Structure formats: C-alpha cells, structure tokens
Amino acid sequence: MNACHLLLTLRLNFRAAQPILYGYLVPIFFLAAFAGVFASPANEMGQLLTITVLGGACFGMPTAIVAERERGVWRRYRLLPAATASLILSVMTARYLLVLSAAAIQIVLARCIYGAPFPAHPFELAVAFTLVCFAFLGMGLIIAMAADTVPAVQALGQAIFLPMILIGGVGVPLRALPPWAWHAASFFPGRYAVDAMQACIRGGGLAAARFDLVALTVIGAAACACGAMIFRWDSEQKLTGRAKLWAFASLLAWAAVGLAAGPITEADLHSISFENLPDDNGVVAPFAAGLDNLDATSVGRLATIQKKLDDWKPDREKEIIQRVRNDLCVCAIPDLMEDPLEAEIPYVVFERLKRETPREELRKALGWIILHPDGGSIVASIPDLGQAKPEKVRERSVLYAKKFLLRLM
C-alpha cells in the first residue's frame, strides 16, 4: 500500500464537504432517528453501524473517486511508480479509517446520550466490522468504476442503499418485515453485516456468526476482484462488454450466498428467547422425557398414531416449513384436548422429525415458525386426536417449536 497516497487521500477527504456529510453527520442523524423510533438504540447498533459503512461505500468513497477522475487526478496517479492494486488499497483503507472513526463516535454517543451498553465483544466486533467494510467497500469500488459522473454515483448508490435499508434488514428490523422480505434479505449483504456485528455487540460473538463472516468474505472478494478488473483511470474510458460481465459476476456471489443461507441465519436462531417457556411437566405444552412406564394400551395407541402419521397427507407436504408446522399441530391438539398422551405424543413427533429431517434444515424451519408465528396454515382438526380453535393451535404450536429448537440447540 502506498503510504503517501493514503495520507493524501485522508487530507483530501477532510477538505471536502460531502465526505464529512456522508461520513459523520448522516450516521449521527440515523442514531438520533433510531433512538426516536426504538426508544434506545441498544438492540439496533448492528443496523446503525451497517448504515455507517453502507453510506461510506455507496456514496462517500465512489463520489470522491469519480470527482477526482473527472478532474484528471487519477490520470496523473497512473504515472506514479506504484501498482494499481496499491493505489486502490490505499483509497479503500482511507475510507475504512473514516467509517471506523464514525462508528466509534456512534458507539460513544449511544452510550453517553442514550445509555446503550458498550459492545460485549469489542475485539470481535472490530473483526466483524472490518469484514463488513471489506464487503461493502468492494461494492463501492464497482459503483465508482461503473459511474461516469458524480450524479451517476448517487443514482447507482441509491439503487443499492435503499433496497438494503427497506427490505434488507438494515434500516427496518427483519422481525418487522413480512416473510417474503426475509427470503429477499438473504440475497443482500446488509443482512449478514447486521447479524455479524449484532452478535458481537449483544450476542455470543463471532462464534454465533460464522456463516455471516463467510458470506461477507465471499461477497467482498468477488466485489474487489471485479472492481480491480474494470478499473478506469480516465473519464473518457468506457465500460466494455467484458467489464459488464465482471460486474454481473460479482452479483452472482450475492445469489450464491442467498441460496446457501436460506431464510434463517444462525444469528436469527440465537436471537430467539426461551425465557418463560412452560415447564415440560406442567399443564401447558407438556413434553415427556421418554416413553418408559407406559402401559400396553398407551404403547399400542402411540404405535397407531405413528403409523397414521406415515400416511397423513399434511405430513407429506413438500415445503419443509409447512410440513414441520403441520407436525407441531399434532402436538398442540392433544395438549388442548387434555389427551392422556398429551406429553408423549410430542416426544414421538420430535423423534420422528429428527429421523426424517436433516438437523440444520429442522433448526431453521423451527426458527422460521417461531419468528413468524402467524405464517403458513394450521391443521385444527385431526382424526383420533380432536379439534381445537385454530388460534389456540397456532399458539401451542409455537411453544412446541421452541421446545423442539431448544433441544436441538
């Protein structure tokens, strides 16, 4: 990396108004806005830090690069006895230091003004923050190379910034969005940025965000490679067809990560609270520890139920989340009907699900059902088990989903 170029870039950034606006005033504005909406920004600091990086990546860095290119500055840089990669790295490092300082200011202000606690894992947060910057600044490099003018930077930046803010889990928490948005958010890097940093701020640290870190690394590597391949020194240079293919290839990394992630991430699962869950031996949502000490009649009835489940049409549903939701209804209805085997039937259903469903798929399906209790359809009537009000069945199904997930985690 060219140290002289890095220092020059930092000096130029602090001399211009726009970098100061995007780098410092906008993050402070979002901090105040989040505090006004959520009362305290403590649970949304991952989102706030992501917005800070996103603003620098979508607007701050590409605006500076394009403005310099329009003035012919980069044409002169090309004459320097330095590798292109060295100059690109110094520009990205300068922006990284700017957003890092802005993020530190946000954390301190959140603590001093709103009483938000400091991050639980500060060093791990620094690692996660660096990976987020790597991924997002790579995208910013592509914007800078694709845009011919500063207004074009604003347009391209908004095309990335706004979707991530609105449906990518960055501006609006995913828990407040409809189920289709959860699926869409899996294809946006903003979701993984929020999850990774929030895990370090209030959760279990990097261990709870392994997939998020891998996703950010893949997206960042693809974006940086693309930005380097289509790098333009002069405003007169135009993007070739090959350059556009490189830009498209970087988006394939988003698609690959989204397909691999599915609608639920590890951070989502760890955000689920199991407090106030009814006791397994209680009246609500009972759950047997095993099938010992059952009389012959009970054993025979359980065998009959298992056999009927094998032929039960709702249990052959292709969509795994709905199939698991149907099986949870098999647990909920006997509970509501006070069936003599209300505690043993959930045990049988759970063991069956574990045998027939891959562990990770089952965990994510249960997590989705817990986080989206009103989604999907409910089976309110089952022969030989009874019939109950759909809203009650849905409520008990979620309790059993939590008990199943707790055992898997």
Which residue is associated with the tokens 């909920």? 332
Bridge-based pairing of strands 381-382 and 386-387 is: antiparallel
Say how far apart CA 279 and CA 362 lie, in whole Å.
Answer: 23
Q: How many C-beta neighbours within 10 Å does residue 56 have? A: 29
Tell me: pLDDT of 1 over 60: no
pLDDT in the model for residue 137 = 93
Give the long-range contacts of residues 167-173, CB within 8 A, separation 24 or more: 169/47, 169/194, 169/195, 170/47, 170/50, 170/51, 170/54, 170/194, 171/47, 171/51, 173/44, 173/47
> Quick one: pLDDT band at residue 318, thresholds 50, 70, 90?
low
73-105 per-position pLDDT tens digit? 888 877 777 777 788 888 888 889 989 999 999
Give the dihedral sign, CA 69/72/73/76: positive
Q: From the centroid of its chain, how far is CA 107? A: 21
Task: Render pLDDT for 114-152 as a digit per residue (tens, 0 to 9).
Answer: 888 888 899 999 999 999 999 999 999 999 888 888 888
Average pLDDT, the chain: 83
Across 282-293, average pLDDT: 84
Residues of the chain by 3-state class (helix, strand, coil), percent to 5? 75, 0, 25
With a threshold of 0.85, does the pTM exceed it? no
